[in-house]
Amino acid sequence: MKKQNHKRLAEGEATGHSHQAVAEDAEIWADENGNRELRAPSGTGVKHEEHDRVYLPVDDYNISIQREIDPFEQKIKEVID
């Protein structure tokens, strides 16, 4: 995994808004397959333009994009923000 030079956990395709870690020591790591991880050695707040900030306690977190199943097309799609 390679350390990223940003703190975005996810970006909205439709709105352009993003979820971002705010702690100074929070780090986002990613590999070539798109797998990502948030490392929060002192915990971190997560901010977003459309809702209140949430707090994540000290830990390492796997970042995944929410998906949904379309029962009519029998396909799995990423949820668009």
Dump pLDDT digits (tens) for 31-53. 998 889 999 999 999 998 878 89
Mean pLDDT, the chain, integer? 85
Which of 54, 15, 59, 53 is CA-nearest to residue 38? 59
Non-local (6+) Cβ contacts of 48 within 8 A are 17, 18, 19, 20
Strands 67-70 and 36-40: unpaired
Q: What is the pLDDT of residue 60?
A: 97
pLDDT below 70 — which residues of the chain?
A: 12-16, 65-68, 76-81
Please say whether the beta carbons of 10 and 19 come within 8 A. yes
**pTM of this prediction?**
0.74
Structure tokens given for 75: 């396909």
d(C-alpha 21, C-alpha 18), whole Å:
10
Q: What is the pLDDT of residue 67?
A: 65
Q: What is the pLDDT of residue 50?
A: 79
Residue extents of the structural domains in the chain = 2-78
